[in-house]
Structure 1
């Protein structure tokens, strides 16, 4: 049994399968996710599990070379979360929310949180540790 880091079995397994340039989406509870994308659903009730906690846990586990967010996120609380982690998120790409959703079918897996903050969604692109 792991004593630190991500201990959620499904999530740890999916992380272990990631390679360079694979993408992962961390989503609020309302983002429509494609049915074919593997889903790690951490949403229990509104607000639990929070987006920022999941994002931080993932950033502790994977190398990120870039991220994609909706431009609408920049105007709210979610934008602050991304700015606070800019040094760990790599190159930023911003798209309108509809264009962001069009990229979802290409992610390796999705993590749904219980977050109810508008536009608290990010696609992380994996890098390499060298």
Structure 2
């Protein structure tokens, strides 16, 4: 049976991820993140909270070598300690990862250089991340 049986099953997400090369970036965003017409967007939001940014990250990190993660500084001031710990725990599972938090306005300035954006149903304020392939 040649059909994919596990991991990411969405063909649009697989196609996007397959085109990312060394030092290219990919954005994983929440449900309310602005639309960027200059970059490809794969919208996998199903409903409020499904899937989450971390759901996508947890699947990606199985086969996607991540060298850097960017996130808005505002994430830490607009979320509970539990939410911050959940993100930090997921980031910590990635070997040799560098996580940088920068002002949201600077975060958004990096978005147009990404290969693409995966939009989720995540409601986490400032939970968006940019992944750079290693």
SS at match of 1:60: coil
Cα RMSD over matched residues? Answer: 1.5
Distance (Å, rounded) in 2 between the aligned partners of 1:105 and 1:45 = 26
Distance (Å, rounded) in 2 between the aligned partners of 1:4 and 1:108 = 24
The size of the alignment, in residue pairs, is: 127
Q: Is the 8 A contact 1:33 1:104 kept in 2?
A: no
SS at match of 2:46: coil
CA deviation map 1:67-124 (0-9, x unaligned): 1000111232553233102331711111111111111100001000001110110000
Q: Is the 8 A contact 2:50 2:122 kept in 1?
A: yes
Give ranges in structure 2 of 5+ residues lacking alignment: none
Distance (Å, rounded) in 1 between the aligned partners of 2:133 and 2:19 = 11
> Is 1:126 aligned with 2:133?
yes
Within a 5 Å distance, the mapping from 1:91-130 to structure 2 comes to 91-127=98-134
Deviating above 2 A after TM superposition, structure 1's stretches of 4 or more consecutive aligned residues are: 77-82
TM-score (norm 2): 0.88
Partner of 1:84: 89
Give ranges in structure 1 of 5+ residues lacking alignment: none
Distance (Å, rounded) in 2 between the aligned partners of 1:37 and 1:49 = 21
Partner of 1:69: 71
TM-score (norm 1): 0.90
Q: How far does residue 43 in structure 1 lie from its aligned partner after superposition?
A: 0.8
